Chains A and B, each alone.
Chain A
Amino acid sequence: MNAPLNYVPRSDFKKRTFAATQDPHLRQSFRSAMDFLMAKRQAQFPDQEAFEHLRALGEEVRRYSLSRLPELLEQLEANLTRNGVKVHWAEDAEEANAIFLEISRSHGATRLIKGKSMVSEEIELNHEMAKHGVDCLESDMGEYIVQLDGEKPSHIIMPAIHKTKEQIARLFHEKVPGVDYTDSVDELIQIGRRILRENFRDAHIGVSGVNFAVAETGSLCLVENEGNGRMCTTVPPVHIAITGIEKVVEKLEHVVPLYTLLPRSATGQAITTYFNVISGPRKPGEKDGPKEVHLILLDNGRSQAYADEQLRQTLQCIRCGACMNHCPVYTRIGGHAYGTTYPGPIGEIVSPHMMGLTATHELPFASSLCGACGDVCPVKIPIPDILMRLRREASHEAEPGRPALRGQGAGRNRLVSLAFAAWRTIYSHPGLYRLYAWAASRLNFLTPKSQLGWTASRTPLIPARQTLRDRLKNRA
Chain B
Amino acid sequence: MEKRTYPGKPRDVYLYATCLVDMFHPDAGMDTVALLEREGIRVHFPRDQTCCGQPAYTSGYPEEAREVARKQLDLFPLPWPVVVPSGSCGGMMRHHYPRLFADEPEARAKALALADRVFELSEFLVHVVQVKLTDRGSAETVALHTSCSARREMGTHLTGADLLAQLCNVKLEVHGHESECCGFGGTFSLKQPDISSAMAADKVAAMQATGARGFISADCGCLLNLNHTLEARKEAFRGEHLATFLCRRTGAKP
A83 contacts chain B at the CB level, 8 A cutoff: no
A423-449 near B? 1/0 per residue, CB < 8 Å: 110111010011001001100000000
Given A424-B56, A457-B201, A469-B45: A368 in contact with B194 (beta carbons within 8 A):
no
For this complex, into which size category does the number of interface residues on chain B fall? 35 or more
Given A367-B188, A368-B183, A437-B23: A428 in contact with B71 (beta carbons within 8 A):
yes
B192 contacts chain A at the CB level, 8 A cutoff: yes
A392 contacts chain B at the CB level, 8 A cutoff: yes
Q: Give the dominant DSSP class at A's interface.
A: helix
Residues of A within 8 A of B229 (CB): 457-458
A420 contacts chain B at the CB level, 8 A cutoff: yes
- Looking at A3-11, A264-272, A292-300, A326-334, the stretch in contact with chain B turns out to be A326-334
Contact B60 A396 (CB under 8 A): yes
Given A21-B195, A421-B64: A427 in contact with B19 (beta carbons within 8 A):
yes
Nearest B-chain residue to A332, judged by Cβ: B198
Q: In the bound complex, how far is the Cα of B228 from the Cα of A437, in angstroms?
A: 21
B224 contacts chain A at the CB level, 8 A cutoff: yes
Nearest B-chain residue to A457, judged by Cβ: B197
Given A21-B197, A452-B190: A388 in contact with B185 (beta carbons within 8 A):
no
From A372, A391, A423, A461, give the contact of B64 (CB < 8 A): A423
- How close is B1's CB to chain A, nearest CB, in angstroms? 10
Q: Which of B19, B25, B50, B200 has the most CB of A within 10 A?
A: B50
Contact A424 B149 (CB under 8 A): no
For this complex, into which size category does the number of interface residues on chain A fall? 35 or more
From B51, B62, B184, give the contact of A427 (CB < 8 A): B51
Contact B19 A469 (CB under 8 A): no
Contact B183 A471 (CB under 8 A): no
From A393, A433, A437, A453, give the contact of B190 (CB < 8 A): A453
B57 contacts chain A at the CB level, 8 A cutoff: yes
Contact B194 A464 (CB under 8 A): no
Given A370-B148, A461-B224: A328 in contact with B190 (beta carbons within 8 A):
no
Q: In the bound complex, how far is the Cα of B68 from the Cα of A427, in angstroms?
A: 6
A18 contacts chain B at the CB level, 8 A cutoff: yes
- How close is A410's CB to chain B, nearest CB, in angstroms? 12
Contact B26 A457 (CB under 8 A): no
Residues of A within 8 A of B127 (CB): none
Residues of A within 8 A of B134 (CB): none
Contact B25 A420 (CB under 8 A): no
The total of interchain contacts (Cβ-Cβ below 8 angstroms) comes to: 186
From A365, A375, A391, give the contact of B152 (CB < 8 A): A375
B225 contacts chain A at the CB level, 8 A cutoff: yes
Contact A368 B188 (CB under 8 A): yes
A273 contacts chain B at the CB level, 8 A cutoff: no
Given A375-B152, A456-B193, A457-B232: A428 in contact with B50 (beta carbons within 8 A):
yes
B118-152 near A? 1/0 per residue, CB < 8 Å: 00000000000000000000000000000011001
Residues of B within 8 A of A440 (CB): 23
Residues of A within 8 A of B26 (CB): 464, 466-468, 471
Contact A459 B228 (CB under 8 A): yes
Residues of B within 8 A of A370 (CB): 148-149, 180-181, 185
Residues of B within 8 A of A366 (CB): 192, 195
| Residue contacts A-B, CB under 8 angstroms, 12 given | A332-B198, A368-B148, A368-B183, A368-B188, A369-B149, A388-B57, A391-B58, A420-B56, A428-B50, A453-B193, A456-B197, A460-B228
User: Which residues does B use to contact A, with CB under 8 Å?
Assistant: 17, 19, 21-27, 29-30, 33, 45, 47-51, 53, 55-62, 64, 67-68, 70-71, 148-149, 152, 179-181, 183-186, 188-202, 224-225, 228-229, 231-232
A-B complex: 6 closest residue pairs judged by Cβ atoms = A368-B185, A391-B60, A453-B193, A370-B181, A457-B197, A458-B228
